[in-house]
Amino acid sequence: MRQGLRDHDRRMGYRGPLKTVPEKEWAAALAEVDANNAAVLAPSEEPLYQALVVALDDKAGTATVALGCAPEQRASSRSPT
């Protein structure tokens, strides 16, 4: 089923962001992205990562993305247990 959904997604193309995150909320969003990207995937699946777009360069046609927290920020972004 997952492969069928991914195949459908490729046929349909990019449909926009999952959500828009104000810059003041980036730290929390990156902690969430970091946690989601750390999840273990089934070996038969191709990796699918979440990211936060932090910069766009229309002239160059590029985007800068963050795939999670920097290692030194991980401890401070998690809730105490």
pLDDT along the chain (81 residues), means of 10: 74 80 93 82 70 90 86 51 38
pLDDT at 81: 38
**pLDDT tens-digit profile of 31-47?**
998 888 887 566 666 77
d(CA 23, CA 34): 17
HSE, CB side, 13 Å, CA atoms: give it for residue 64. Answer: 5
Full-model pTM: 0.61
**AA identity, residue 40:** V
39 secondary structure, DSSP code: S
Partners of residue 53 on adjacent β-strands: 65
- Segments making up each domain of the chain, as ranges: 19-77
Decide: residue 68, CB within 10 A, 0-12 exposed, 13-18 middle, 19+ buried.
buried
